[in-house]
């Protein structure tokens, strides 16, 4: 943990993306399935290549948008290996390994490291709602288990419990806990952690991307970037350059896309529909209990993506 500098740093850090643990632009990538529900690794490689070509520094695999609750440990490993093969050294692979069982999470972390992941995304244990002492023990044990950098995923809306600012400040002492994917929406709390640690923040809520960058997040871990990578790359670059007017213009233009993908039903449902509309994937298959977007939502999505300038 470091003390605040007497002279404030630019927000976000002006360091090059290559100097940051997971770059600046990261997409929480879908897991494509064939119509029969089986894992489609060819499609996954196509999506990964498309995203890296669009400016992504890193890809988060096996997260919520990747439908991790319904893929097996073996499938998760195969996905990491396939995407690593597709993008090579052009992007870092961050593997979602978090569960609500510390022992299982450690096992997944070791498997991800062996499969070639460059880092780990570790979500707050969900459903069993551990106290903050339990969170500290869980995240520390996972960080101790491999040599990879860890990004903690703070998302109380799904996990049922937040990682409190004091807990994050304490966990920042661990040499391999280096970043936070922040989907809590607590700007004041985030500012407190940024002021008292060296943790790198990545916004995990697309509606707050610009606000998070403005207070010091170094990047974003986006869902909407599946179809807006180039736009978000430009937004991030504008903020780093101090061109707030350009960043605001891009952010406001993307509002219809963010609303369409993130507010009307589950995000993986809508972003698969968006990728299908964009011609990136052939099938928008999801695994139960998720279901494909109904025609009326796809129609609204089409209109909103056109309004945002993301599809012709």
Give CA–CA dist 117/203, Å, rounded.
21
Examine the residue annotation and report whether 181 is marked as an active-site residue of this protein: yes
**Residue 216 CA to its chain's centroid (Å):** 17
221 belongs to an annotated ligand binding site: yes
Give CA–CA dist 207/4, Å, rounded.
28
* Residue (of 161, 19, 143) closest to 152 by Cα position: 143
Examine the residue annotation and report whether 127 is marked as an active-site residue of this protein: no
Give, in order, the Cα–Cα distances in Å from 243 to each of 136, 239, 249, 280.
38, 6, 10, 31
In 10 A of CB 171, how many CB atoms?
22
Give CA–CA dist 83/91, Å, rounded.
10
Q: Which one from 50, 126, 181, 201 is the annotated catalytic residue?
A: 181
Q: Which one from 50, 76, 126, 153 is the annotated catalytic residue?
A: 153
For residues 61 and 83, is the Cβ–Cβ distance under 8 A?
A: yes
* Residue (of 284, 290, 282, 283) closest to 271 by Cα position: 284
85's tokens: 């093969």
7 belongs to an annotated ligand binding site: no
What lies within 8 Å, CB to CB, of 26 at 6+ separation is: 56, 57, 58, 59, 60, 94, 202, 219, 220, 221, 222, 225
23's tokens: 């770059």
For residues 272 and 305, is the Cβ–Cβ distance under 8 A?
A: no
Residues catalogued as catalytic? 153, 181
Annotated binding-site residue numbers for pyruvate: 65, 221
Annotated binding-site residue numbers: 65, 221
């Amino acid at each position: 943990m470091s003390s605040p500098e007497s002279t404030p740093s630019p927000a976000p850090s002006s360091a090059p993306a290559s100097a940051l643990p997971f770059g600046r632009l990261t997409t929480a990538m879908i897991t494509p399935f064939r119509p029969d529900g089986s894992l489609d690794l060819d499609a996954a490689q196509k999506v990964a290549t498309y995203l890296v070509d669009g400016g992504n520094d890193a890809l988060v695999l096996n997260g919520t948008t990747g439908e991790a609750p319904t893929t097996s440990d073996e499938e998760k490993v195969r996905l990491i290996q396939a995407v690593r093969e597709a993008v090579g050294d052009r992007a870092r692979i961050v593997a979602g390994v978090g569960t609500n069982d510390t022992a299982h999470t450690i096992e997944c972390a070791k498997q991800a490291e062996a499969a070639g992941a460059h880092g780990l995304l570790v979500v707050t244990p969900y459903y069993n709602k551990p106290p903050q002492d339990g969170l500290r023990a869980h995240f520390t044990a996972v960080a101790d288990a491999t040599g990879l950098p860890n990004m903690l995923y703070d998302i109380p809306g799904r996990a049922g419990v937040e990682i409190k600012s004091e807990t994050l400040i304490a966990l920042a002492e661990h040499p391999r806990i280096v970043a936070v994917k922040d989907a809590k929406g607590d700007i004041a709390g985030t500012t407190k952690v940024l002021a008292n640690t060296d943790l790198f923040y990545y916004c995990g809520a697309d509606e707050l991307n610009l606000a998070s960058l403005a207070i010091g997040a170094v990047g974003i871990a986006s869902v909407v970037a599946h179809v807006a990578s180039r736009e978000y790359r430009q937004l991030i670059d504008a903020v780093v350059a101090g061109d707030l007017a350009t960043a605001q213009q891009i952010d406001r233009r993307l509002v219809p896309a963010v609303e369409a993908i993130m507010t009307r039903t589950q995000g993986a449902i809508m972003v698969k529909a968006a990728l299908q509309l964009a011609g990136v994937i052939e099938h928008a298959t999801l695994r139960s209990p998720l279901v494909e977007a109904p025609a009326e939502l796809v129609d609204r999505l089409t209109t909103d993506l056109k309004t945002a300038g993301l599809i012709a």
